[in-house]
């Protein structure tokens, strides 16, 4: 796997019981950790007993530490709204009181603007009949909760599952979002592949052609000079045929004479995962997409500007032309071609 340096960022959300919100965020690719805690009140170093009694002004909340190169703040907002009842001003599900009220605590003006925009778009969507009661507030001191609350869904999975079910949260989420599963708050900006969940094998077989399935899921290699993109010179980007995650740019594509699409580097340093050393005729390292885990091809050491040649199967790629990047949600890459 490629290593890289990055600066993590933080976001704070109050969504009722912090056990549930911790799980919702911590399972996302790009989230480093979600810390259960308390914020918004006036008591220093509060305890669970004081907060749950409603005597501190604090709310149960989670502090999400994330890698902005892998997951956006917009995506975190999307997940937040999809895991709460935003119309409830008095708590969340079975938990009542100010300490369980929902809020987005912004850490800077950028987060404030996006939070307010997400709330406005949710109101206009018509998904909820009542007004949106979730508050958007400036962040205050965040106090981590006691150790036994951290990772509760992992430490006490059976109790956690019963709580999430019988509190009414799980049923509410399923009822609201199953019929609205295609709704996106930021369709023009959200990099939806960052929260990608891979379909099961039956769904993949239905989604992909036999060749695409053989290449991406079984590691097959398509014939040279008899594939879709090997000699294409059109401007645009190449994305994973399964997940849509961006992989390569036409700017870095070149004719290697091998009969397969070849690139000097991936679009993003983190976009490609290198697997174990391969054997046989292909002596390079296998490369896969990060989120879908699709087999793409191999990378070889060669005399290119980067010292590498990424030899990729066309069947693992979908091409997005330059003039359709915005339409398909790849607005971040428009600047490559200006």
> Of 147, 175, 195, at which residue does a domain stop?
195
Classify residue 106: in a domain, yes or no. yes
| Stretch 220-237: mean pLDDT | 95
For residue 236, the cross-strand partners are 321
Q: Annotated catalytic, 17? A: yes
Q: What digits encode the pLDDT tens for the residues 89-111?
A: 999 999 999 999 999 999 999 99
The residue segments making up the domain with residue 161 are: 9-195
Indicate whether 250 and 162 sit together in one domain.
Answer: no
Whether the model pTM is above 0.75: no
Both tokens of 241, joined, read 């045929």
pLDDT per residue as tens digits for the range 178-214? 888 768 787 655 565 665 677 888 888 988 999 999 9
**CATH at 150:** 3.30.1060.10
- What count of other Cβ atoms lies within 10 Å of the Cβ of residue 208? 20
Shared-domain flag, residues 171 and 188: yes
Q: Are residues 68 and 41 in the same domain?
A: yes
Q: How far apart are CA 247 and CA 237, in angstroms?
A: 7
> Residue 16's closest CA among 52, 60, 47, 78?
60
DSSP 1-33: --------EEEEEE-SSHHHHHHHHHTSTTEEE
Residue 264, domain member (yes or no): yes
| Same-domain pairing of 25 and 137 | yes
Q: How many domains does the chain have?
A: 2
- Which of 17, 20, 283, 311 is the catalytic position? 17
């Amino acid at each position: 796997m490629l290593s890289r340096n990055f600066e993590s960022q933080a976001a704070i959300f109050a969504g009722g019981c912090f056990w549930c919100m911790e799980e919702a965020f911590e399972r996302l690719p790009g989230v480093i950790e979600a810390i259960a805690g308390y914020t918004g009140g006036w008591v220093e170093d509060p305890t669970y007993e004081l907060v749950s009694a409603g005597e501190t002004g604090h709310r149960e909340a989670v502090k999400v530490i994330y890698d902005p190169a892998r997951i956006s703040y917009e995506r975190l907002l999307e997940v937040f709204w999809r895991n709460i009842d935003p119309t409830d001003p008095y708590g969340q599900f079975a938990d009542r009181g100010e300490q369980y009220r929902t809020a987005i605590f912004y850490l800077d003006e950028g987060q404030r603007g996006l939070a307010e925009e997400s709330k406005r778009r949710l109101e206009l969507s018509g998904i909820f009949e009542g007004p949106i009661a979730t508050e958007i507030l400036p962040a205050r001191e965040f106090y981590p909760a006691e150790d036994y609350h951290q990772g509760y869904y992992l430490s006490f999975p059976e109790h956690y599952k019963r709580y999430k079910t019988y509190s009414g949260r799980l049923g509410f989420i399923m009822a609201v979002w199953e019929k609205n599963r295609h709704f996106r708050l930021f369709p023009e900006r959200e990099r939806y592949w960052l929260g990608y969940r891979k379909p099961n094998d039956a769904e993949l077989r239905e989604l992909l052609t036999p060749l695409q399935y053989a290449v991406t899921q079984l590691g097959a290699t398509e014939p040279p000079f008899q594939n879709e993109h090997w000699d294409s010179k059109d401007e645009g980007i190449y994305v994973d045929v399964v997940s849509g995650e961006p992989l390569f740019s036409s700017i870095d594509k070149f004719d290697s004479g091998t009969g397969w699409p070849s690139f000097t580097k991936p679009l993003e340093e983190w976009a490609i995962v290198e697997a174990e050393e391969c054997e046989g005729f292909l002596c390079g390292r296998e490369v896969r997409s990060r989120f879908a885990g699709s087999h793409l091809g191999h990378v070889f050491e060669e005399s290119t500007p980067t010292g590498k040649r990424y030899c990729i199967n066309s069947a693992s790629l979908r091409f997005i032309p330059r003039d359709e990047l915005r339409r398909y949600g790849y607005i971040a890459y428009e600047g490559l071609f200006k």
